[in-house]
Amino acid sequence: MSRPNFPVNRLKTKLAAGQPAAGSFLFTGEPALVEIMGYAGLDFVIIDTEHTPNDSLQVQHLVRAAELAGITPVVRVLANYPAYILRALDVGAQALLIPQVNSAAEAESAVRAAKYGPQGERGMAGIVRAARYGFVPLGEYIQAANDNTMVIVQVESMAAVRNLDAILAVDGVDAVFIGPADLSQSMGLAGQFENSEFRRTIHGIIDRAKAADVRVGIFCAKAADARYWREAGADMLAVGADTMLFAAAVRDLVKDLG
């Protein structure tokens, strides 16, 4: 009988080594696109369930595709709620992206839901996919899950910016992730991504995270933005989404056809 192994968390490995990691969002729920992202050389894919109809069964298929292609599956959960976190982890998510985390208490809640005891209170089931359906000793699985699962909290409001130092101090938060769209809206600058005040705010988030030795990620609409924020100190660069990339390719095709 072959013994199943746990996949390497490529994203965590690169960030721990001080190397930037590149990835993209997945909105469509198409496993083939996850494989393409992995084979193309991206480090991670963020499987979105906040702004999409993707359910737990679909997420499971997407996570399988990610493991096959050697790309880290990050799941953005619908909300910072233990049941949503549990479902994403039980199907094999290696990292969680928690939206709308505005305080240290909310960050602590996410960590508790994501980690088994003594670090947290994650619901335990030793026969789920993440546990390799019971083919791995439970204690070994629990240790691997606590060691390898990443908790990434989104900073996307001025409340989160005000409380950032306390959020960064929460044990178990592996990274903060800047959501530019919601942050711009919270600042009364919706969509004004080149606004100087907005950009200063993002620079401030990055600087405070680096000072606290916490990794920081950001959504970038295009590669030029990713290069800019990488130079500014961002570690985790999520560039576009499958829908954005496909739309751009189709627009270029139509243009080239005349």
In this prediction, residue 97 carries a pLDDT of 99
- pLDDT, one tens digit per residue, over 133-154 is 999 999 999 999 999 999 999 9
- pLDDT, one tens digit per residue, over 155-186 is 999 999 999 999 999 999 999 999 999 999 99
Domain-located, residue 167: yes
- pLDDT, one tens digit per residue, over 119-130 is 999 999 999 999
In this prediction, residue 40 carries a pLDDT of 98
In the chain, the number of structural domains is 1
Rg of the chain over Cα atoms, rounded to whole angstroms, equals: 18
Domain-located, residue 1: no
Active site positions, annotated: 51
Domain-located, residue 3: no
Per-residue exposure over 249-258, b if at least 16 CB sit within 10 Å of its own CB, e if not: eeeeeeeeee
What is the C-alpha separation between 121 and 136, in angstroms, rounded? 21
Which residues of the chain fall below pLDDT 50? none
Domain that holds residue 69: 10-257
In this prediction, residue 4 carries a pLDDT of 81
Q: What CATH number corresponds to the domain at position 249?
A: 3.20.20.60
Domain-located, residue 4: no
Q: Is 0.95 surpassed by the pTM of this model?
A: yes
What is the C-alpha separation between 247 and 182, in angstroms, rounded? 22
Sequence-distant (≥ 6) Cβ neighbours of residue 146 within 8 angstroms: 115, 116, 119
Q: Cβ atoms within 10 A of the Cβ of 123, count?
A: 14
